[in-house]
Copies of this chain bind each other. A is one copy, B any other.
């Protein structure tokens, strides 16, 4: 069933979020779905503007994603990187030959005066993606990882170069005080047309928090008269991808779905109406209820397109029920 009447907003980080976004794109018509994407992971590398989460969305929605690596493009090659190493270049960030076209084209269009929103739309359209995908902001926000050893790392240095090895003690978002929501994101919030808000199974601390913290977006979303449903990024105590579980341990919380629910309730009180847990975490449903969120226990691990579509359907149905 393709839904046309709802107006769905999904908030997403990278891989997990992109999977659910792809599921949503199967069951919601393109003009009824907007995916707002974290840009706190963005950085400048070798003079190029790299937007990892936007690219993951773009490659996933266009069918170009590299399923084996979990990032970048399929059928990727690494001639550039090898040549860069040969001339002594900074090669810790693996830029594939195909992927590079995205970064060069984006950097070039930005230098020509286009906003990141406009560049994103242009790239998505060129690859045939009709879903409305927006960066959270056209301004620059940079996620910083504060380590227990006193160091502060730019996110990609922590995530890629240092393979998430440093123990963290906190996270901050440089530039978030002055950053504004991307114009189309702002319009959507102001439109009073949203019927469903979905927080994808993305890292709460470095993927979702930048979006919710930006210009107090969480308060703006909470004020909208439609359910907010969150899909847990933690299943059976583990993050399916990325450092969420490890971060939780270092931030002195259990790495469980319940702890994710508790984090949201403490940080963004009253925002999340429905909390989707995996069947593996069914035992936590009552405790989630006790936090004031309605739980939905379902299969949340998305291994194939059918899984993605099924989870999208389940989340939308759940949201309908919450709307009453």
> Could you list which residues of chain A lie within 8 angstroms of chain B, going by C-beta atoms?
46-48, 73, 76-77, 79-84, 86-90, 96-102, 104-105, 107-108, 111, 122-123, 126-127
Contacts and interface: CB of A to CB of B under 8 A. Distances in A.
A62 B116 CA distance: 40
Contacts of A46: 104-105, 107-108
Q: Helix, strand, loop or mixed for chain A's interface? A: helix
A111 B48 CA distance: 11
Contact of A83 (B47, B79, B97): B97
A55 to B, nearest CB: 11
B100 A100 contact: yes
A101 B87 contact: yes
Nearest to A122: B88
Given A46-B107, A80-B97, A83-B101, 20 more contacts: A46-B108, A47-B47, A47-B104, A47-B108, A73-B83, A76-B79, A79-B96, A79-B97, A80-B104, A83-B98, A83-B99, A83-B100, A84-B104, A84-B105, A86-B101, A87-B105, A87-B123, A88-B122, A89-B105, A97-B97
A83 B108 contact: no
A128 to B, nearest CB: 10
A86 B47 contact: no
Contacts of A82: 98
Nearest to A87: B126
Contacts of A86: 101, 126-127
A126 B90 CA distance: 13
A28 B81 CA distance: 34
A98 B97 CA distance: 9
A64 to B, nearest CB: 9
Nearest to A77: B79
